[in-house]
Chain A
C-alpha cells in the first residue's frame, strides 16, 4: 500500500555543515540503489534518494542537503523524532560490469553511495568521482573507502583532490582506465556534460534524473519528460544513455509545481 509508514529517526549523521543522513529501521527487501522514498514531515512531502540500504542491520537512510523550508525542518529534527516514509519508488541502477565509474556531484552522491556499497559487496571494482564546491562539502569519503571503492575527489576551489569540475576528473579517469559502465547523479548540467563524454567514449551509462514530483505513484504526471512523456517517478529516475538521448529536455529545462517550464 502506498501509505507513509511513520518511523522514528534512529540515527543522524552530520556529513557536512549542510548535509545530514537520517537512518531508520526498515525491513530491507528489494530496495535498489537509485530508488527513492517520499519523505513526509507532516507539513509537506518530498522525494529523497535512498543513500543507505543495509540488509544486515535492516536499515535505510536518506541524505539531505539543507536547501529550503522542508529540508530546514527535517534538519532541525533529533533522534527519536518521527517522519513518514513511503516507497521505495522508481527504477534503480542496474548493477553490472566488473569495473564501474560512479560520478557524483554534491548531494547527487546520495544514491551513488548506496550503489557503491552494493556494487562492492558484489565484487565489482568501483572508482568514485566525488565532486563538491569545497573540501568541507565532500560527503561519504570514509564510507566510500570502507566499502572498498577507490575515491577520486575534486573540488571547485581545489581545497581537496583535483581542482575543477567532476566531469574533468571523470574524463581523466576515462582516459586512464577501462570501465564497463558509468553511473551518475548530480546537477543536470554536470550530467549533460558527462552524457556527451560517455557518448563519445561509447561506454554504457546510467543517469539519475530529478524532476518535480507530487504523487510518486505514476499518476499525477508532474514528472513527465519531453518528448517521450516517461514518468521520472516510474520509468526513472535512472535512465540509460539511449533513453536519455530521447529525453529532449535533458540539460535544458524542467517544470515547477504548476508545470511551468524553467530553463536550467
Chain B
C-alpha cells in the first residue's frame, strides 16, 4: 500500500533518510533502513577528506536547528569502503558535492556501481570554495554539472535544490533541461544565525548556518508545489517533515517520496516506522489504495 517509486527505483514506502543526517557510515545507513526507511541517502561526500567547520556546528532555534557542519566527510575513497558495507535492504542514494563539473563527474563515476542513484548537492548554504548553493543558485552552472554527470553515469541523477533563490522554478527547469532524472527539494533555508545575549557572539563558529526543521516546511511545500507544475520529472520532498500529516501534504503538493532529516533529532530512528504507520492509517480512512493516488492531488 505504501509502495512508491522514482526513476524506476522501487521503494517499499515513501520515506527516505535525508542527506546530511547521520549517513556518514554504512552502519547508520543500515540502521535507518532496518528502522523502516524506504530508502537512504548518504551524507554528502567529496573528492578529499574534509573536517568541516570547528564547533559549534549546530544550534537550536525556534522551529528547528541551524547548522554549519561544513560538509565534513572522509572523501570518496574512504566512503567507497562504507558503500561496500550497505546491506542493500532498501535503495541507496549517494549525495555528492564538488566545486566544478570535473569533481562531480569523477566522484559519480567511482560510486555508480555501488548505489541506486546519485544526488547532486548543489544546494548546501554554507559550503566553502564554490561548492553547494554557490552552484545551485546559478541555473547555468547547475545545468553544466548535470550535463557532465549525465554523460558519465548510467544510474539516475537527482539534483537537490536550494530554496535560497529568487525563482526555484527557473533552477529546476534548467536542471531538468540539462537532463537530470529527478529533483529533491529543498536543502536547508537561509543561511540564518543565532547570537548569544551574554557575549554578543554568533553561536555557530561559521556564524551562519542552514535552517532545517518544522519551520521550513511551508517553504519546502511551496517549492514542491510550484516545481511540480513546471517539470515532468519525479520530485522528492524534504523540509520539516515530522509526522505522517507532513508527508501527506508533500504528496498532495506533488512529491513521489520524502526525505526526513532534523526530525531524527526529535524522534530518534523510530520516526520512519511511526510515519509509515500513520500514513497507512490515514490512507485506509481516506480510502486511498496507493501512494500514486495522492501525488499532486492539490493541483
Q: Does B27 lie within 8 Å of A225, measured CB to CB?
A: yes
Compute how far the CA of A225 lies from the CA of B21 in the bound complex, rounded to whole angstroms: 15
Residues on the A chain within 8 Å of B123, using CB? none
Q: With A229-B28, A258-B50 given, can you name 12 additional A-B contacts, CB distance below 8 Å?
A: A2-B60, A3-B203, A42-B199, A45-B56, A82-B198, A84-B203, A214-B72, A220-B69, A224-B24, A226-B27, A227-B27, A229-B31
Residues on the A chain within 8 Å of B54, using CB? 43-44
Closest partner residue, chain B, to A247 (CB atom) = B27
Q: Does B67 lie within 8 Å of A215, measured CB to CB?
A: yes
Say whether B102 faces chain A, with CB atoms less than 8 Å apart: no
Q: Does B22 lie within 8 Å of A224, measured CB to CB?
A: yes
Compute how far the CA of A223 lies from the CA of B59 in the bound complex, rounded to whole angstroms: 17
Say whether A255 faces chain B, with CB atoms less than 8 Å apart: yes
User: Could you say which of B93-101, B146-154, B163-171, B262-270 contacts chain A?
Assistant: B262-270
Compute how far the CA of A222 lies from the CA of B26 in the bound complex, rounded to whole angstroms: 12
Interface residues of A in 28-58 (CB under 8 A from B): 38, 40, 42-46
Say whether B205 faces chain A, with CB atoms less than 8 Å apart: yes
Compute how far the CA of A118 lies from the CA of B277 in the bound complex, rounded to whole angstroms: 41
Per DSSP, chain B at the interface is: loop
From known contacts A219-B265, A221-B22, A259-B72, infer whether A6 and B199 are also in contact, taking CB-CB under 8 Å: yes
B44 CB to closest chain A CB (Å) equals: 12
Q: Does A234 lie within 8 Å of B268, measured CB to CB?
A: yes
Q: Does B27 lie within 8 Å of A229, measured CB to CB?
A: yes
Say whether A199 faces chain B, with CB atoms less than 8 Å apart: no
Compute how far the CA of A2 lies from the CA of B56 in the bound complex, rounded to whole angstroms: 11
B77 CB to closest chain A CB (Å) equals: 10
Q: Does A258 lie within 8 Å of B55, measured CB to CB?
A: no
For the complex of A and B, 6 pairs with smallest distance between CB atoms = A229-B31, A221-B22, A45-B55, A229-B27, A6-B198, A229-B28
Residues on the B chain within 8 Å of A231, using CB? 22, 28
B190 CB to closest chain A CB (Å) equals: 16
Contact flags B176-214 to A (C-beta < 8 A → 1, else 0): 000000000000000000101111010101000000000
B40 CB to closest chain A CB (Å) equals: 11
Give the contacting residue for A229; candidates B22, B49, B69; CB below 8 A.
B22
Residues on the A chain within 8 Å of B43, using CB? 221
Closest partner residue, chain A, to B79 (CB atom) = A259
Interface residues of B in 240-278 (CB under 8 A from A): 261-262, 264-265, 268
Give the contacting residue for B24; candidates A6, A84, A259; CB below 8 A.
A259
Q: Does A218 lie within 8 Å of B268, measured CB to CB?
A: yes
Contact flags A216-249 to B (C-beta < 8 A → 1, else 0): 1111111011111111001000000000000000
Q: Which residues of B contact A (CB under 8 A)?
A: 21-32, 43, 49-52, 54-60, 65, 67, 69, 72-75, 78, 85, 194, 196-199, 201, 203, 205, 261-262, 264-265, 268
Per DSSP, chain A at the interface is: loop
Q: Does A40 lie within 8 Å of B56, measured CB to CB?
A: yes
Closest partner residue, chain B, to A215 (CB atom) = B58
Residues on the B chain within 8 Å of A4, using CB? 56, 59, 196, 203
Compute how far the CA of A2 lies from the CA of B25 in the bound complex, rounded to whole angstroms: 25
Residue from the set B21, B73, B78, B265 with the largest chain A CB neighbour count within 10 Å: B265
Compute how far the CA of A43 lies from the CA of B26 in the bound complex, rounded to whole angstroms: 32
Compute how far the CA of A90 lies from the CA of B298 in the bound complex, rounded to whole angstroms: 42
Say whether A67 faces chain B, with CB atoms less than 8 Å apart: no
Residues on the A chain within 8 Å of B268, using CB? 218, 234
Say whether A14 faces chain B, with CB atoms less than 8 Å apart: no
Compute how far the CA of A43 lies from the CA of B72 in the bound complex, rounded to whole angstroms: 18
Q: Does B264 lie within 8 Å of A258, measured CB to CB?
A: no
B206 CB to closest chain A CB (Å) equals: 12
Give the contacting residue for B49; candidates A42, A215, A227, A259; CB below 8 A.
A259
Q: Does A219 lie within 8 Å of B24, measured CB to CB?
A: no
Give the contacting residue for A82; candidates B31, B199, B261; CB below 8 A.
B199
Q: Does A260 lie within 8 Å of B22, measured CB to CB?
A: no
Give the contacting residue for B51; candidates A40, A221, A256; CB below 8 A.
A256
Residue from the set B51, B55, B72, B201 with the largest chain A CB neighbour count within 10 Å: B55
Residues on the B chain within 8 Å of A219, using CB? 21-22, 58, 65, 67, 261-262, 264-265
Closest partner residue, chain A, to B50 (CB atom) = A258
A255 CB to closest chain B CB (Å) equals: 7
Residues on the B chain within 8 Å of A227, using CB? 26-27, 30, 85
8 A–B contacts, CB within 8 A, in A order: A2-B60, A42-B201, A45-B205, A214-B72, A219-B264, A222-B72, A255-B74, A256-B51
